[in-house]
Structure 1
Amino acid sequence: MKKNIAVVYGGDSSEYVVSVNSSKNVFQSIDPELFQPWAVEMKGADWKLVVDGEPVADINKQDFSVHYQNEHIRFDYAYITIHGTPGEDGILQGYFDLLKIPYSTCGVQSSALTFNKYYCSNYLRNFDLAMAKSVRLTKGDVIDEDVLVEELGLPVFVKPNAGGSSFGITKVKTKSDLKAAIEAAWKESNEALVEEFIEGLEITSGLVKLKNESFLFPVTEVIPKNEFFDFEAKYTKGATLEITPARISESLTETCQQLSSRIYDLCNCKGIVRIDYILKDGVFYFLEVNTTPGMTATSFIPQQIEAMGMQLKDIISKIIKDQVC
């Protein structure tokens, strides 16, 4: 009997559209000879089974099951492709833990930690990781531009403390633009980060660790045609040059992969994770941990898996079998 795999997508953040596209690629990459994939859309309290792009039945939230075509379907596993809340911040993970349903991502504690950029960075500072200085501002705080510029210099990046896909991020070059940038970040999150600008090469590194094997993917070099890797650069074809493997030395590549492996363990991660850096003068400056990274056909992780000589289907099968078979 094939296990029923729920590919969970949607969510309640600006990343909804990205999640939809990620879920389609994951759904197509689940081996139908081994598993029975189902698409489950979550948006607020509206949870639906989706077949051929159309909602066909309500999900029973009491046990994460559904009645469809006179059959009662119980899901054996959840492959979470929600970027942002509630799929990346630990909320959904807590629900599945209560129901004892295994899932593809980090657990509650790890998801909550890594989703909050400020908390994650300050936790990792204890382990001597290089990273930019930053200041956190909660919605409603008084914005003192002079103090921020004195502490962090210019330019700076202003970003939501909780969020992804570069929504609400601004590169600020002048003091007079700081307030508007912080207020834009507050629209995405109750907290904004004002972060020191480090000029260098953007590198992103994916990996997954299973019970009996680990995969440290080839790293990717990211060269946006825009000033930085904003939403347009991420999701507009041709707006960014993405080179996998990155054009850096084997030694630097291995350093990056081992650093990612260390961060993965320090944050108690599970499933596929992507970690972003700025490479400057041979040093990798940590940016953030992505615990439900984009999985569209053109996203970094599928690119890296392909460059490794494998298919996304192979990795996803290994992840699912690691917990349910």
Structure 2
Amino acid sequence: MNVAVVMGGYSDESVISIQSGQLILNNLDRKQYTPFEVHILPEGWYVLTDGHKFPVNKGDFSFEKDGEKVTFDVAVNTIHGTPGEDGHMQSYWELLELPYTGCGFYQSALTFNKRDTLSVLSKFNIPKAKSIYLSKGDRVTAQEIVDNLGLPFMVKPNQSGSSLGVSKVNDINEFEKALEFAFAEDSDILIEEFIKGTEVSVGVLNLNDKTTVLGITEIVSHNDFFDYEAKYHGKSDEITPARIDAETEGKVKEVAAKAYDALSMSGFSRTDFIIRNGEPHFIEMNTNPGLSPQSIFPQQAQHAGIPMSELLDNEIKLALNRKVLWKK
């Protein structure tokens, strides 16, 4: 079976995505699959094999090598950010009737939009931070934000990942700089109250046709919050399993699975919560969680004693089953 391991993307997260792609390439069962390294980048789409780049035909997502056309049976999607985590690639693959891993195009677009995700989950009584939504050009004063949310508060792009463009505002004079930083990533931003508590990240997936919590990781940032540097440059402690009591663990697992099902998710996901007074508050869901060696999801798989090759095999089977449903 020819497997396209698709990585890269058009955002600053492309470097992390390529690291994730390498982990997938290293863990696919070569007895079952013939993997191909596919890069989706602003400068072009290509397959990297034997040290050479072969352009991808966007008409049918194929490529030619030595005069022969090579097609794929399934795409393993590990693009972080646009266009692989916002529904664009998923819509494209569905038009081609090419099975792909992860959630569908609607769920991908929805969860990439923080405001819309929070709006949907509010119907399911899942605790979350108080927030204010702004678009570029909207006028609001720092004092208005403080009056509504208090200090400190968080400013983040509405559609972005890896904590890019995110700031914690501790002083009212930091507000304008935080706005500029967030608007550099997206034309819409979310301003949220700062929830002081224990931050955890929860891996959830559909494993053997059952919503399964893979693990709970406690995050202790060395910085003021879990920013890009803390995530990818070793400025945090990621403790699996999280140091929480059994009752709180049960609540976290319950609400993480509830959010996954409420959004009709499938495939890998990683959902972030902050536990305040024993209650997990939803922060965001990542539908293409990082799979680089330092990423949380592989750590949780290792602790759970489930080989990544087994999890990837499960993902590919789910993708192929999606194609069967299309045909119906």
TM-score, normalization: structure 1? 0.95
Deviation at 1:268, TM superposition (A): 1.1
Identity %: 39
Q: Is the contact between residue 210 and residue 322 of structure 1 (CA under 8 Å) also seen in structure 2?
A: no
Q: Superposition RMSD on alpha carbons, in Å?
A: 1.4
Aligned to 1:94: 91
Superposed CA deviations along residues 45-95 of structure 1, whole A, max 9, x for unmatched, are 61000125x442100111111111333111111111111110001011100
Equivalent position of 2:291 in the other structure: 295
Q: Distance in 1 between matches of 2:136 and 2:287?
A: 25
In the alignment, does 2:129 pair up with 1:142? no
8 Å CA contact 2:102–2:319 kept in 1: the answer is no
SS in 1 for 2:124: coil
1:156 paired with 2:153, answer yes
Instruction: Determine if contact 1:12/1:85 at 8 Å carries over to the other structure.
Output: yes
Hey, what's the Cα distance between the residues in 1 that align with 2:52 and 2:171? 48
Contact 1:158 1:182 in 2 (8 A): yes
Larger mean Cα displacement after TM superposition, 151-160 or 252-261: 252-261
Say which is worse superposed, 293-302 or 54-63, in terms of deviation.
54-63
The CA distance in 2 between the partners of 1:250 and 1:37, in whole Å, is 41
| Matches of 2:124 and 2:221, distance apart in 1 | 30
- For 1:6 and 1:323, the matched residues in 2 are separated by 13
2:218 to 213, 221, 241: 221
Partner of 2:122 in structure 1? 125
Counterpart position of 1:234: 231
Paired with 1:250 and 1:14, the residues of 2 have a C-alpha distance of: 38
Unaligned runs of 5+ in 1: none
- SS of the residue corresponding to residue 140 of structure 1 reads coil
Matched-pair contact (CA < 8 Å) for 1:276–1:287: yes
Q: Number of residues paired by the alignment?
A: 321
1:278 aligns with 2:268: no
Aligned to 2:325: none
CA distances 1:111-150 after superposition (whole Å, capped 9, x unpaired): 1111000111121111111110111111122232121111
The separation in 2 between residues aligned to 1:258 and 1:69, in whole angstroms, is 52
Which structure 2 residues correspond to residues 237-316 of structure 1 after superposition, within 5 A? 237=234, 239-316=235-312
C-alpha contact (below 8 Å) 1:56/1:68 kept by paired residues: no
Deviates more, 1:3-12 or 1:253-262: 253-262
Residues 172-219 of structure 1 deviation map (CA, whole Å, 9 limit, x = unaligned): 011111111011101111111111000001001001114634432121
**Aligned twin of 2:19:** 21
For 1:44-63, what aligned pairs fall within 5 Å after superposition?
A: 44=42, 46-51=44-49, 54-63=51-60
